[in-house]
Chain A
Amino acid sequence: MDLSYTSEEEEFRARLREWLGKVLPTLPPKPSPDDWPARRAHDLGWQRMLYDAGYADVHWDASPTTRLIFLEETEKAGAPYVGANFVGLLHAGPTIAAEGTPEQRARWLPPILRGEEVWCQGFSEPDAGSDLAALRTRARRDGDDYVVSGSKIWTSHAEVADWCELLVRTDPGAPKHRGITWLAMPMNAPGITVRPLRTLAGSAEFAEVFLDDVRVPVTNRVGDEDDGWRVTMVTLSFERGTAFVGEVVACRRVLGELAAEARRNGRWDDSALRRRLGRLNAEFRALWRLTQWNVSEAEASGGVPGVGGSVFKLSYSHARQELYDAAAEVLGPDSLDLGRPWMLDRLSALSYTIAAGTSQIQRNIVAERILGLPKGR
């Protein structure tokens, strides 16, 4: 067991740190969470800067440890997170890289890296969330096109996306997991209506997407027809990979800020609160260690992170909620003021035990795939 980094990795860290120190002060301020076009421009601008400096493809091509360092350093320096680029960079891009044809890779990958195109994820439907394979959005073949009808929901960033990684049912007669196909759908195609949904935290982070005879060229299909479930599993394994690394770093920073605030406002004298923050410190330290362990394991096995991601996500999503609950205790009555720091995050944190597979679904995965318990009926 070794927690030290190689000299190459340390060099990468030093170079990155120096670059961040130079460029971050030149960045425009973060736009308001409600201003989607501005957010898109901001996030893509950042991606373009990364591209020009040679860091754009760190999520795809670098070793897991290098990626860990990248996420750690960018978060520590307060750099923007992937934001609107999330799906392109962390889901669709890696999926296309692994499963796409050379033409598809050439068409879609460079614009993602250069910060020119935004992707969204059209997996969930009103009647197919946890039971994703129950999806009903239909696609029928018509010449060189699929004609798609149905609706998707909770589609993050749909309003500003150029492309959608879309799951459709191509064979309604086939068993649930078989008749599904993975398509790249241009969001400007006729027949698409996006209805923004307001989240509990206030902003219109996601949307409902209605698809009315939308034509998608057959050449936009990634993987074979009716083989979309397998491709989806590839996508989801990327989703649960290192997605939360930067956030653990951020939580540790927030914890330090909470302690400082408690000292300032006198709450620090409350030993119960102090001990609660101490316990959270233990949890986030452990989650950071678990991240290092998982990254190390991914590096050793040379592949995609395994179900270990579910263990991490379960623990992290709950710890994050506890962190912001502790913030409310530090703030007391001021915790009801959304203008205070952390209090919007406290609301957003509630989505972490739902999005990307609810805690209940994650526990099923851990119990059945790691512990080998029988499947329920």
Chain B
Amino acid sequence: MRFQLTEEQRALQAAVRGVVGRRSSARSSWLVAPRGGAADVYNPAPLQGAAAQPGDSQFRLDRALWRALGDLGFFSLRLPEADGGAGLGLPEAVLAFEEAGRALVPGPLLATHLAAGEVEGAATGETVVAAADGRLVEWMEEADVVRPGAEGAVPMNSVDPLTPLHRVPAPAVPDPLGILLTAAEQLGTAARACELAVQHARTREQFGQPIGAFQAVKHLCAQMLVRTEVARAAVYAAAVTADRVDIAAARLLADEAAERGARDCLQVHGGMGFTWECEVHLLLKRARVRAQRGGGVTESEELLAADLVT
């Protein structure tokens, strides 16, 4: 048993982090650009507008990033080498999605990844694919292809300014693979929330010392790490076994680590955490969007309960 990352897996992790990290450095860009504006220039005003106006796609997807991810093999990772893929497995895909989740890369990453090999151009990042998951479609209007089609889709006023949402009448059957990769994204977001909180706790001073010296703050941070590390073990293991029950477990823990982590991170940031001035709210909102994928938590809980009596 060697339940640790291999050298190759670490290298892949670093490569993905390099690409998505460079493009989301500081708060300069959330990897999308306001319509008509330049990518990589952060301007909170359209973000706020996007949140206020239902269904108005103020954001276009950063196509250059999509192709960069394509070049990196993000979408084709699991395709056989004969089909132009890297021939890698689920654990590698999970590591890549974790990094995307950490950087809050916007766009229908999951749908495009799952379409690689099935939809022309998805593997290389030429084609942007959106898909119905449960009753929702993310990034429908920016996509070149929507699977399996989105009859009767109605735009929503999405809670996450960086994830335009449509609601569809007929629920799509969740794909366990999608649930696992979503859990990996949640894991990345949970880890990011912990990092941000710790960074802030070290530098922000009150009462003449860094707030991180106060135990109440310290303990919030410690619990963020604990939840993240437990979720990490579950997500990585599910990637190795690809077992449905393992995936359901990974999902529950990763959802909780991301959502609770973002809330605790907000608490550590105080008033500033409640604004658009820092990244925290975006972590929280994205975590909530992802928690609705794959049929919501009830199904996962019931699956895990059923596992106890079989």
Neighbouring B residues of A65 by C-beta, 8 Å: 1
Known: A289-B233, A367-B221. A279 touches B301 (CB 8 A): yes
| Cα distance, A289 to B304, chains bound together (Å) | 16
Of listed B5, B221, B234, B241, residue having the most chain A CB within 10 A: B234
| Cα distance, A264 to B48, chains bound together (Å) | 54
| Cα distance, A281 to B252, chains bound together (Å) | 10
Name A365's closest neighbour in chain B (CB-CB).
Answer: B222
Neighbouring B residues of A1 by C-beta, 8 Å: 2-6, 9, 91, 236, 239-240
Which listed residue (B229, B306, B309) contacts A311, Cβ 8 A?
Answer: B229
Q: A263 and B309: CB pair below 8 A?
A: yes
Measured CB to CB, the closest approach of chain B to A145, in angstroms, equals 42
Measured CB to CB, the closest approach of chain A to B155, in angstroms, equals 32
Name A263's closest neighbour in chain B (CB-CB).
Answer: B309
A273-319 with Cβ < 8 A to chain B? 274-275, 277-279, 281-283, 285-287, 289-290, 292-293, 295-297, 300, 308, 311, 314-315
| Cα distance, A277 to B222, chains bound together (Å) | 26
Kindly state the interface size class of chain A when it binds its partner: 35 or more
Q: B305 and A293: CB pair below 8 A?
A: no
Which listed residue (A315, A372, A374, A376) contacts B230, Cβ 8 A?
Answer: A315
Q: A367 and B302: CB pair below 8 A?
A: no
B-side interface residues, number (CB < 8 Å): 56
Q: B3 and A377: CB pair below 8 A?
A: no
B206 interface hit (Cβ, 8 Å): no
Partner-contacting stretch, out of A35-43, A254-262, A338-346: A254-262
Neighbouring A residues of B240 by C-beta, 8 Å: 1-3
Q: B309 and A289: CB pair below 8 A?
A: no
A27 interface hit (Cβ, 8 Å): no
A32 interface hit (Cβ, 8 Å): no
Which listed residue (A9, A255, A295, A364) contacts B308, Cβ 8 A?
Answer: A255
B213 interface hit (Cβ, 8 Å): yes
**What 1/0 mask marks residues of chain A from 350 to 365 whose CB sits below 8 Å from any chain B CB?**
0000000000101110
Task: Mark B residues whose CB is within 8 Å of A.
Answer: 1-6, 9, 91, 194, 198, 201-202, 209-210, 212-215, 217-219, 221-223, 225-227, 229-234, 236-237, 239-241, 245-246, 248-250, 252-253, 298, 300-309
Q: Could you pull out 7 A-B pairs where Cβ atoms are within 8 angstroms? A: A278-B301, A285-B249, A290-B233, A300-B2, A314-B226, A363-B215, A376-B213
Task: Mark A residues whose CB is within 8 Å of B.
Answer: 1-6, 9, 65, 68, 255-256, 258-260, 263, 268, 271, 274-275, 277-279, 281-283, 285-287, 289-290, 292-293, 295-297, 300, 308, 311, 314-315, 360, 362-364, 366-368, 370-377
20 other A-B residue contacts (CB within 8 Å) besides A1-B2, A282-B252, A373-B201: A1-B5, A3-B1, A3-B237, A259-B308, A275-B305, A278-B303, A281-B249, A282-B234, A290-B234, A293-B233, A295-B1, A360-B219, A363-B218, A363-B222, A370-B225, A371-B222, A371-B225, A373-B202, A374-B202, A377-B213
